Amino acid sequence: MRIQDIIEGKKEWRAHMARVKALPKDYQIVYKEIQKYLFKVGPVELTDGIGLLSGIIDLFEEGAALGKGVLEVTGSDVAAFCDDLIKDSKTYADIYQESVDQEVNKAMKKVTDKTK
């Protein structure tokens, strides 16, 4: 990665966070929880940029402009809202589940091979 890319990334992130800080307080709180959730379980592609997070801010800015509370925009189950956003993306949880399945299959194969 070039230094210029890192600097551009930081500028983009600062501009992104400035948009978050301009949101009403309830939106900021929910946004931060969504961000934490997505960074923990979220799509592997999040590392490609902040497109998804930017889209959430667009949605939140629109909701705030219409005078809606944040939970009117996301629904009361914010985790389900996040899951719906990333339902078509490969997540870290998917990768972990796949590795667990592979390990179990390997172990079971060893056990069944020994019993034959």
Residue 44 has pLDDT above 60, yes or no: no
Query: For the segment 63-99, what is each residue's pLDDT rounded down to a tens digit?
Result: 999 999 999 999 999 989 988 877 776 655 556 666 6
pTM value > 0.85: no
Q: Where are the domains of the chain?
A: 3-89
25-41 helix and 51-65 helix, angle to the nearest 10 degrees: 160
Q: Give, as one character, the DSSP assignment of residue 66.
A: T
51-65 helix and 3-21 helix, angle to the nearest 10 degrees: 20
The architecture (CATH level 2) of 3-89 comes to Orthogonal Bundle (1.10)
